[in-house]
């Protein structure tokens, strides 16, 4: 168990640019989640995959955001035409099943949009 | 929609003392799960303790225990014999049981400082 890995750890971009983040979950976990955390707030749910299927999306996930999980392994989160309001920590988590099973979180990718 | 409220933005405790962090939630569901997660500075979030709503017995994990009051929709975390390593942000979280949604709904967190 090498844990959930997220890359890059930090990303600084100019407004209007596109960015892509990667998440590698724990290998046997079939569920993968993306959350966004702004300063002073708890994580907010963005989207969730079971294997390669994207099963749930938050209203926070505007049409500028897209997430994929090809082949049910790693996942990418792309933000197009970034805005300053997109500045946040983007957290990825994975789990083996639903219900009371805890989520295992990565260290996150901190995005700063200038 | 479910909401989670943590009314204490910050708390402090002396090393070896006991501290209780508060959490209330709002839901119309009868079956759900509640969690406390810990997020140390610049480190990943980890699970502290969890509680199934159908269980009347309060969960305990070593120095961590909860006081789950289902009727009051309250889920507080008690940390006994506080240690310096307990210093972190603590988040209370709610998850539905069934119904198709697997998202965790988090509170805003409580920053815990442990004084030596």
Q: Looking at chain B, how many residues does it have?
A: 116
Q: What is the pLDDT of residues B63-93, one digit of tens each?
A: 999 999 999 999 999 999 999 999 999 999 9
A38: confidence class by pLDDT, cuts 50, 70, 90: very high
Chain A residues with CB inside 8 Å of B7's CB?
A: none
* The CA-based dihedral angle spanning residues B57, B59, B62, B64, taken in that order and rounded to the nearest 10 degrees: -120
CA gap B41, B45 in Å, rounded:
10
**What letter would DSSP give residue B105?**
E
Contact A45 B103 (CB under 8 A): yes
Task: Give the pLDDT of residue A60.
Answer: 82
CB B23 within 8 A of CB B5: yes
List chain B residues with CB under 8 Å of A45.
103-105
Are B104 and A3 an interchain contact pair (Cβ–Cβ within 8 Å)? no
Average pLDDT over residues A39-54: 93
CA atoms within 13 A on the CB side of B21: 34
Please indicate whether, in this complex, the C-beta atoms of B52 and A100 are within 8 angstroms of each other: yes
Residue A51 DSSP class: T
Low-confidence ranges of chain B (pLDDT < 70): 99-100
- The pLDDT, as a whole number, for residue B102 is 84
**Distance from C-alpha of B111 to C-alpha of B116, rounded to nearest angstrom:** 16
pLDDT: which is higher, A83 or B98 = A83
């Amino acid at each position: 168990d090498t844990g959930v890995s997220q890359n890059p750890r930090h990303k600084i971009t100019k407004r209007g640019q596109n960015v892509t983040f990667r998440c590698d979950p724990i290998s046997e976990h079939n569920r993968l989640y993306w959350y966004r955390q702004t300063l002073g707030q708890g994580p907010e749910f963005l989207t969730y995959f079971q294997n390669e299927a994207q099963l749930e999306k938050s209203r926070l996930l505007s049409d500028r955001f897209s997430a994929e999980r090809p082949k049910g392994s790693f996942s990418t989160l792309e933000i197009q035409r970034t805005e300053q309001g997109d500045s946040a920590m983007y957290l990825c988590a994975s789990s083996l099943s639903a219900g009371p099973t805890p989520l295992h979180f990565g260290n996150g990718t901190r995005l700063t949009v200038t | 929609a479910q909401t989670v409220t943590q009314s204490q933005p910050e708390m402090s405790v002396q090393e070896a003392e006991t501290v209780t962090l508060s959490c209330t939630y709002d839901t119309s569901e009868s079956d759900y799960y509640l969690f406390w997660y810990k997020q140390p500075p610049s480190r990943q979030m980890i699970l502290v303790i969890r509680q199934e709503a159908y269980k009347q017995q309060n969960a305990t994990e070593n120095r961590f225990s909860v006081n789950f009051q289902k009727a009051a929709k309250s889920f507080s975390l008690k940390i006994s014999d506080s240690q310096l390593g307990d210093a972190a942000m603590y988040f209370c979280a709610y998850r539905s049981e069934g119904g198709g949604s697997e998202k965790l709904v988090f509170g805003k967190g409580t920053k815990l400082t442990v004084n030596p």
